[in-house]
A and B are shown apart, each in its own frame.
Chain A
Amino acid sequence: MTTQIAPAAPELEVPAPQRPVRKKRDGRAAALYLLPAGVLLLALMAYPLYQLVQISLYEYNQPQASGAEPLVFIGLDNYIELFGDDQFWSVLVSTVLFAAVCVIGSLLVGTGLAILATRVRTVPRMLLFLAALGAWATPAMAGSYIWLFLFDADFGVVNEILGMQGHSWTFDRLSAFGLVAAEVIWCSFPFVMMTMYAGIRNISAEVIEAAQLDGATWTRTATQVILPILKPLLVIATIQSIIWDFKIFTQIYVMTNGGGIAGQNLVLNVYTYQKAFAGEEYGLGAAIGVVMTILLMLITVVYLRTQRRSGWQP
């Protein structure tokens, strides 16, 4: 997974740091350095995760948790119930599509603005960054309420400007998803933008100059020199965005009032919450959690595979 900047052309090679030749003692030293974080992650993440798998194999509701009723091992029944639920599959499809829109949206907006930021002077750039940092810093719940307020049917400033008072943005399924996606992109593009901006800035001037001297136009330089160099960055930003956007909860929960009219705007995490946690069916909730983790891993692996095939080197 260590990534080196993939050279676009041999003469543009960026020297990767050479590793010192102290390999023998590396293993032991590394173990020592990794020990504190490792212990913590094993104890507070791996072990609960193992217990999560266990819970998913039991009938485990609130009475079982508080010890009022004995535990019953039911094998894969929770999973069978889940996979037999038509709603699960339709929610799964909307989750994937919704996450895809959010991921692509944040990447496009973030990268576009990063490129824009490299081409303007300090003051406009600082303004853009300040606004973006503000969006990034806003707690998810607050952000959701603000957007809901802006797009309120009667009192929202958006309807006021558009002259369509009374129009509900959350009644129609797609319009509701769109509104939430806009909010998600608003608070997640800054990460992509900052990353890509820093990436562009880090490209050494010689690389660009060399391309320019070769007579390349600005567009060609951008697509054939800069983009390939940025590719590893883009891949990471994409993976992070997939992980975050697939697990969206607060925005959907708050903005569509718990999943929209008759559950039309449910995504997996909200579905899990309503199906399992609010109803205190933890066994089923654990099963969905396990399925979600596996699903995310699959998506990431498939994505990394396609990237590798198209030349990205891990």
Chain B
Amino acid sequence: MKIKGVLAAAAVGALVVACGPPQAANNQPQQTGNAGQPVGEMTGELKVWLFQEASNGPKEAVVNEAKQEFEAAHQGVKVTVEYLPVDGRASRFNGAFNDKNSSPDVAEFGNTDLAGYTASNGFADLTADLGAWTDSKDLIPSVLDTAKVKGKTYGIPWYTGTRALYYRTDVFSELGLQPPKTLAELTETARKIRQAKPDLYGIATGGKYIYAAFPYIWANGGDLAKQDGDKWTASINGQQARDGLRQYAELLKDDICPPSACAQLTGSQSVAQFAGGKAGMTIGGDFNRKAVEAGAVKGKYAVVPLPGKDSGSIAPAFAGGNLLGVFGASKKHTLSLEFIKLLGGKKYQQKMYTAMGNLPTFKDVQEQVASADKTLEPFVKTAQAGTRFVPATPAWTKIDAQSVIPTAIQQIATGGQSLEAATDAAAAEMNKAFGS
């Protein structure tokens, strides 16, 4: 009996160790051909993944136009576009990385996801291809940087998202307020609004709205993490980052934006509160303008750059935005590249701006639309004042997914943890993620 048991245990042990867990066949990044030589098939179906927007109609119209133009120019090519919900995109993309055979060819993806995707060899290195594309010289360098990992470019920036300060012009003139010149003034202004009008939040912002909190950290001279060679180290518990977080968490108090309502708010939810006329201010992106225009505050608001620490300065904004890339497993590399050069090119960026309000990534196109539309000015100003980005490492995906920073903000705002303890814990979590 005993021997049998030992044998069984040994057999089980051997079974566990013998063959490893399942894994996709190893794929090296696809080789790109010599200049001028097409890589892969030039006919057939081109599968494209784009994100589904809140109101997808205008986007679809522009994309369909590009699709028709492309199909007319390329005999025997059929472009199939699928719109993915942003939420739950991970399993779709991972599926494509794990099963090369059914991988699509082209995808739109967020620049914060890029580092994680490249760690899985998900997207093709386009450095050489884009270098040969004359238009690429007009891409704004800081924006192009968000498409790079370790010096290699993996996509064309399709549009950028920059956030600025929205405020209610009617409320401000009624209370005799001026748009704040510094972040400290912003807190005071917000407090005054709620004092005078208790049914309004001084500023609608949230514990989960990290892209509103980051400018506070950056404006105070702090940073999320520091890079030393290949190694990242969290610096969110540094003095300056703490100052920024303290200042941000002050907004999530009963006298400005009560934590019972605001601790859980995300970016779009914060903007929705403002659009619904429930707040004196909010931090919102150029891409939020359509939603605000459709809300109760239409015609009663204005936008200025989010102020920095000192009067006259602008807080560095997060360089959000989406890229168009070519899947590493695509069997139609050159064809895919042609397509993203069309859809991500100047002509269609302009069209996308008209349809969706997406801020273009080419310097000349951006200036052109900004001069035609004064409402874009604060966003362009903010972008030109210099934007910052999250740590460009796959670990960021994990830190983001584990809600490390929202947890810290919520703990500080609700008083669950001290500023020091919360930031130390967040730094420890981040370092753990960086370490692996």
Contact = CB atoms under 8 A, between A and B. Distances in A.
Interface of A: 50-51, 53-55, 57-69, 71, 73, 153, 166-168, 170-171, 257-259, 261-264, 274-275, 278-281
B116 interface: yes
Nearest to B119: A63
Nearest to B199: A166
B380 to A, nearest CB: 33
Contacts of B264: 170, 257, 261
B23 A67 contact: yes
Given A66-B27, A262-B414, A54 B16 contact: yes
A62 B263 contact: no
B120 A62 contact: yes
Contact of A278 (B25, B90, B411): B90
B239 interface: no
A115 B385 CA distance: 71
B416 to A, nearest CB: 6
B90 A280 contact: yes
Interface stretch (B74-82, B189-197, B338-346, B395-403): B395-403
A53 B18 CA distance: 13
Given A168-B260, A261-B410, A62 B116 contact: yes
A285 to B, nearest CB: 12
Contacts of A263: 403, 407
Contacts of B410: 261-262
A261 B414 contact: yes
Contact of B402 (A55, A63, A67, A278): A278
Given A261-B207, A261-B410, A68 B397 contact: no
Contacts of A280: 90, 94, 116, 397-398, 401
A262 B417 CA distance: 10
Interface string B241-271: 0000000000000000001110110000000
Contact of A64 (B23, B116, B397, B401): B23
Contact of A62 (B22, B97, B399): B97
A149 to B, nearest CB: 15
A58 B261 CA distance: 42
A65 B98 contact: yes
A278 B401 contact: yes
Contacts of A50: 15
B431 interface: no
A62 B21 contact: no
Contacts of B1: none
Given A279-B397, A280-B116, A171 B260 contact: yes
B402 A71 contact: no
A68 B24 CA distance: 8
B26 A67 contact: yes
A66 B23 CA distance: 6
Given A67-B26, A153-B261, A171-B260, A54 B120 contact: no
B394 interface: yes
Nearest to B259: A171
Contacts of B22: 51
B21 A58 contact: yes
Nearest to B121: A68
10 contacts: A66-B24, A66-B122, A171-B259, A171-B260, A262-B410, A274-B401, A274-B402, A274-B403, A279-B397, A279-B433
A267 B137 CA distance: 50
Interface in B1-31: 15-17, 19-27
Contacts of B97: 62, 65-66, 68
Contacts of A61: 436
Interchain residue pairs A-B with the least CB separation, the first 6: A278-B401, A279-B398, A171-B260, A66-B97, A67-B24, A262-B410
Contacts of A153: 260-261
A71 B121 CA distance: 15
A71 B23 contact: yes
Contacts of A51: 21-22
Given A57-B16, A63-B119, A262 B24 contact: no
Contacts of B119: 62-63, 68-69
Interface string B382-411: 000000000000100111011100110011
Nearest to B408: A262
B405 to A, nearest CB: 11
Given A53-B16, A153-B261, A279-B397, A62 B94 contact: yes
Contacts of A275: 402
B27 A261 contact: no
A51 B15 CA distance: 10
Nearest to A153: B261
A237 B401 CA distance: 36
Interface string B175-214: 0000000000000000000000000000000011000000
Contact of A58 (B20, B24, B259, B436): B20
B84 to A, nearest CB: 17
B150 to A, nearest CB: 14
